[in-house]
Structure 1
Amino acid sequence: MKTFLTATLVTTLLASSALAQDLTDIRFTLGWKTQGSDAAFFVAKDKGYFEEEGLNVIIDQGEGSGATVTRIMGGAYDAGFGDINAIIQNASERPDDAPVMVYMMWNQPPFAIVTKKESGITSIEDFQGRTLGGAQGTPTTRLLPVFARTNDLDMEAIEISNMAPNLQEPMLIRDEIDGALVFNITSYFNLLANRQDPEADYDWWQFGDYGMDLYSNGLMVSQRLLDENPDAVAGLVRAVNKASIEIGVDQDTAMEAVVNYDNLVNAEIERQRLNFAYERLMASEEAAEIGLGDVDDERLARAIDIVVEGYGLTATPAVDQVFSREFLPPREERELVYEAD
């Protein structure tokens, strides 16, 4: 009996080792530090969805959703979660190197201007004659001139105060600026951390509501991975889609996976951020029509034009340089039902 058990154990270990050797390594970068809005990647790993697709996905924290693009272009990562607008910029300047978005997650843009309700700003016209604080290089700051032109605002009448991202909310709270040029999914929770009520005491002027019909973050992969292992790309998309759809009705499992990855996160705040992402960035009318993960080509073409103008690019990338739906699961498998807990 002892000999039989030992032989069985050896056989099992060898089989497990062979399976591990057969998995394709995917080096994956998040858009920032661990956040609840990243839950789909952690769920896909914890529940074995990546492994079922023959993938060993190694997930690292990020340095910004735009930095995801440069990390992939530099060859350190095969895939990641980041901003399609950074892809557009690099597809214009380095078309042979820029990654490609293969699964759009944040159908609605997080770019916004946040102001205090007590500021007296009751319309976007009131930005004129005021000071807005922005971090250089962020999409919200760089696209403000296009926002102004689109809405007939005098950009020269708006003063921009350049500052580090971590100073925006504190300076807004202290009335040192009249508004902050932000990502709503970041700034909202920064205000909470500063014991503010972002709903009751602040107004959020969303770029998407004022003619800036942009897309935002999703799953992107390197051109090398697309060329050399399209099956791995398809498996990666299937696994992330499966997890994303499940999270819509099960935030408990999602948060367990987030905490499993990083037990130092504030689980309460990150659960709120997860729900914020689903409610305000993912569960849109367009996503309900075409399914999570896809884009509308005409809308993306308009978004590309906005970014080309805002970033002063010399070449306009084609839609298929920026996004590929080749690896999307069937429409019926991408039906997002969101039920907040």
Structure 2
Amino acid sequence: MRRLLSALLLSALAMASCLLLSVISGNAAAEPVKIKFTLDWKLQGIHAWYYWAKAKGYFAAENLDVRIDQGEGSAATVTRIMSGAYDAGFGDINAIIQNAATKPGETPVMVYMIYSKAPFALLTKAGGPIKSVKDLEGSRLGSPAGGASFKLLPLLAKQNGIDYSKITITQLSPSLQEQMLLQGQVDSVAVFTATSYMNLVSLKLDPDKDFRWMYYSDLGLDLYSNGIMVSPKLAREHPEAVKGLLRAINRSLRETVENPDAAIDLLATEEPLIKNDIERRRLLYVYRTLIDTPEARELGIGDVSDDRLKSAIATIATSFELPRLPNPGDIFDHAFLPAKAERMPPAIAP
């Protein structure tokens, strides 16, 4: 009887071992999770880390099959994901807030903040009549009608005690905003710094010496901006894939800012028409001004302050007259972030 029991026990152990090996083997051979990822715009230096992650095999190492497509705007990233066409992307958290107010549960959730400082600003000529935000009264301001910087302008004026009705607004094409400022047709333009800065460089001008930049964040509108967002479906069904996606991007962001020449050379294999010197400078400019912030040095790149986010939600709700205030947890989820030690901003050469 004892022999029979021993034999049965050994048989059961053998079957359990086979089952375990089968499970392990099955996991090892699991199909990669496919993720369709949309950028916010056409290829620029600020997108280098996504292609670096793909080329270096960091996505593959996380068992991910990531397809990267160019975008049509930071806000469009949100609508692309909500439509089901994309699983994840790089876009504007303020667009998430706006959509979450009317379609809770349907909007993507941000899981990794990149632009800790929003790139919304007023651009003026250094020798022009606008020396401070108070000088906007009685001045001429140009902006694309749908630009986020323009949409926030009435709130900016209110925050700074400015009579918005005394600003003469000229709606213009995004491609003409710097030229109209240079020609003196307007006194200032409401811009997205990551784009305008390099437009001025392309015009052989010095953006730092010849112009004055007034960031909204320094004038009472302390907002977040672009980061990595994912669909509720991806977050719910493949949480480990989301964590892997962020690990790969986080590693690549750090490596590209430390190796900008190699990063832009690699990006040029995706888009040969880019100007390497312009995109290298854009990459480093955006890193220094929007990513490597005091908050990022405290919390690590990718994370946000809940109190600051709550305040930003209230600001956006007021500015866009939203019907309800979304909860911070519906907008940003900290659970997928890599460890803080892995997200500290690297120091780069000046």
Q: Same fold (TM over 0.5)?
A: yes
> Are 1:132 and 2:145 an aligned pair?
no
Structure 1 segments of 4+ aligned residues over 6 angstroms from their partners: 18-21
Match of 1:153 in 2: 162
> Are 1:205 and 2:203 an aligned pair?
no
How far 1:141 moved relative to its partner? 0.6
Match of 1:315 in 2: 324
Give yes or no for contact 1:133–1:168 (8 Å, CA) kept in 2.
yes
Count of residues in Structure 1 that have an aligned counterpart in Structure 2: 324
AA matched with 1:203: R
Match of 1:256 in 2: 265
Could you tell which deviates more after superposition, 228-237 or 256-265?
256-265
Match of 1:15 in 2: none
Alignment counterpart, residue 299 of structure 1, candidates 308, 312, 320: 308
For residues 169 and 181 of structure 1, what CA distance do their matches in structure 2 show? Answer: 10
> Are 1:68 and 2:39 an aligned pair?
no
Deviations 1:52-77 (A, max 9, x none): 00111100110111111111111111
Match of 1:179 in 2: 188
For residues 114 and 340 of structure 1, what CA distance do their matches in structure 2 show? Answer: 27
- Does the residue aligned with 1:293 lie in a helix, a strand or coil? coil
Give yes or no for contact 2:265–2:276 (8 Å, CA) kept in 1.
no
Aligned alpha-carbon RMSD (Å): 1.5
Match of 1:280 in 2: 289
Deviations 1:186-218 (A, max 9, x none): 011112222322122111011011111100111
Give yes or no for contact 1:65–1:82 (8 Å, CA) kept in 2.
yes
How far 1:321 moved relative to its partner? 0.7
For residues 243 and 104 of structure 2, what CA distance do their matches in structure 1 show? Answer: 22
- Does the residue aligned with 2:74 lie in a helix, a strand or coil? coil
Give yes or no for contact 1:248–1:340 (8 Å, CA) kept in 2.
no
AA matched with 1:201: D
Alignment counterpart, residue 250 of structure 2, candidates 241, 244, 248: 241
> Are 1:44 and 2:53 an aligned pair?
yes
Could you tell which deviates more after superposition, 164-173 or 148-157?
164-173
- Does the residue aligned with 1:215 lie in a helix, a strand or coil? coil
Whose Rg is larger?
A: 2
AA matched with 2:234: L
For residues 99 and 209 of structure 2, what CA distance do their matches in structure 1 show? Answer: 39
Give yes or no for contact 1:279–1:338 (8 Å, CA) kept in 2.
no
> Are 1:113 and 2:119 an aligned pair?
no
Match of 1:95 in 2: 104
Alignment counterpart, residue 229 of structure 1, candidates 238, 263, 278: 238
Gap runs ≥5 in structure 1: 1-17
How far 1:93 moved relative to its partner? 1.6
How far 1:20 moved relative to its partner? 9.5
AA matched with 1:322: I
For residues 309 and 132 of structure 1, what CA distance do their matches in structure 2 show? Answer: 22
Seen in structure 2, the aligned counterparts of structure 1 residues 218 and 39 have a Cα distance that, compared at 3 Å, is same
How far 1:120 moved relative to its partner? 1.9
> Are 1:267 and 2:269 an aligned pair?
no
- Percent identity, aligned pairs only, is 46
Match of 2:5 in 1: none
Could you tell which deviates more after superposition, 118-127 or 140-149?
118-127
Match of 2:337 in 1: 328
Deviations 1:297-334 (A, max 9, x none): 00011111111111111111110111011000111111
Seen in structure 2, the aligned counterparts of structure 1 residues 64 and 253 have a Cα distance that, compared at 3 Å, is same
Gap runs ≥5 in structure 2: 1-26
TM-score by length of 1: 0.92
- Does the residue aligned with 1:39 lie in a helix, a strand or coil? helix
Seen in structure 2, the aligned counterparts of structure 1 residues 144 and 296 have a Cα distance that, compared at 3 Å, is same
